[in-house]
Structures are given as C-alpha cells and as structure tokens.
Structure 1
Amino acid sequence: MTKPTFVYDGDCAFCTSCAQFIERRIPTRARLVPWQFADLDALGLTTGQCEQAVQWVGDRRAAGPDAIALLLKDAGRLWRAAGTALGSAPVRLVAWPVYRWVSEHRHMMPGGTAACSLPQAQRDRMTDTPL
C-alpha cells in the first residue's frame, strides 16, 4: 500500500496552522503537503479541487470533511473513533456546510490572513506585482 497524502492550501495561514497541528498531534501515516508544492498530476488532482477543499489521496479519495475523516481513521484507535463519527451520514450532513462556511471565512479564523480569502489566481497576481 502506498502512503496516503493529505493536501491542503499552503498559502493559507489557517490551513497551514491546522496542518502543523496535525503533524504535531495526530499520528497519521499520511504525508501532509501544501498543494502548491505537490505533484497534482501524479496525485490525480486539479488546482480547482485543491482550492475548493483539502484532499485525501490514498486507497480512497476524498475531499473536505470526508478527507479529514479518512485522515483521522488512519491515525489509530482514539482518532479512528472521531474519524468514524465524522464520516457517519448524520454528521456528514452537518460537516459539509460547516466545512464550507469555515473555508469561506478562513481569513477570519485564528492564524488566518487576508490572503486566505482569495482564490489562487488573485494571490498569484498579488505576488507578481512589483512594489
């Protein structure tokens, strides 16, 4: 079995803070990688998919809270219970709207910055503009 990959937005300070928390506290086998530094073609992902939600690429593919559920299930006993709960049908009905809300407001979350709220194309234009 190949090592699963969890892909997140490395330009977003909130997303990066969450990824750092995962690396410190959640014992997953997954490789965490910002999509900006990932080989998206090799992972079978597009920029658009990665701008929309975090991605899990492994034996199964998932996005958003479904990807988070798979990451938690991968992390072992205690975390598996949380991942199973997150992946259950009733919780998923709430998880997706909450995930979308957080995603749309991540610039307002702890560690978030104004750049977190912009699509990648706009972020690229900001860095390409001379001062």
Structure 2
Amino acid sequence: MPNRSVLVYDGDCAFCTTTVNYLMRRVRPNCDVTPWQFANLEALDVTQQRAEHEVLFISPTGTVYGGAQAVAKLMLSAGGAWAWPGGLLTLSPVRWIAHGVYRLIAANRDRLPGGSPACALPADRRPSVRPAE
C-alpha cells in the first residue's frame, strides 16, 4: 500500500490528462498522481479493468474510491475551501447525481474539450498501450 493517497487516471485520454493537470494546478490535492498505464496496479490492489473504467483515488489504508467519489476524496485531500464541495459530493442525493454526471462525462470524454478519438478506443486498441502480460 502507498504511504500517501494516489490518484490513478487514464493517461492515454487527452480529456482526462487535461482535467488532472488542471486539478493539480488549481485544487492542489494532497496525493500522488499517476496514469494507470504507469502505475503498479497490483500493489495498489486494483485491476486494469477498473482503472480503465474510472478515475481512482486510493487512500494510504488501501480504500479505493472510483468515479465521482474519487473526485470528492481528491477535493477533500486538498483541504481549505475545496473540502466543502468535496464533502458535498459524498452526501446523498448529491452523491447519486454526481455519479450520473461522472458516468455521462466518462461515456463522452472523446467529444469533450481536450478529448481525442483515442479516448473512445478500448484500452487494448490504443496506440501507446500494450496488452498486459
């Protein structure tokens, strides 16, 4: 398990990379950030299939949060004013709405600003990803 929280995202997706870079500059979360393509997924106790499906936030205790809840935990880790919206995202019914919005964005990330056609390809068909051995 990591000593610090870790955010794992799709490094082949231009929209995901742009969003993570923005969050690192503006929100400044207290975590390490790595594309799943370069992460030791086994050590983080997550599967490649899950990492391809959603952004992940892994706490130092090994708790894995995915999708909108990963974003909420990232904001909470930043503290200060960012903790308020992060905390709000963990509450019902906001949590349910955030999940739906996250899934909608994830399903259409190739069409969003910063997205590219590669974002729509399954991970094993992207040019920079080799199949797991």
In the TM superposition, residue 2 of structure 1 has moved relative to its aligned partner by: 1.9
1:112 maps to 115
Which runs of 5 or more structure 1 residues have no equivalent in the other structure?
Answer: none
Q: Report the AA paired with residue 117 of structure 1.
A: A
1:83 maps to 86
- C-alpha distance in structure 2 between counterparts of 1:33 and 1:127, whole Å: 15
Identity of aligned residues (%): 38
2:106 maps to 103
Query: Do the aligned residues in 1 keep the contact of 2:123 with 2:129 (CA within 8 Å)?
Result: no
Query: Do the aligned residues in 2 keep the contact of 1:27 with 1:76 (CA within 8 Å)?
Result: no
In the TM superposition, residue 83 of structure 1 has moved relative to its aligned partner by: 0.3
In the TM superposition, residue 127 of structure 1 has moved relative to its aligned partner by: 7.1
TM-score (norm 2): 0.90
SS, match of residue 23 in structure 2: helix
CA RMSD of aligned residues (A): 1.7
- C-alpha distance in structure 1 between counterparts of 2:48 and 2:31, whole Å: 20
The total of aligned residue pairs comes to: 127
TM-score (norm 1): 0.91
- C-alpha distance in structure 2 between counterparts of 1:84 and 1:110, whole Å: 27
1:73 maps to 76
- C-alpha distance in structure 2 between counterparts of 1:47 and 1:103, whole Å: 16
- C-alpha distance in structure 2 between counterparts of 1:17 and 1:27, whole Å: 14
Higher helix share: 1
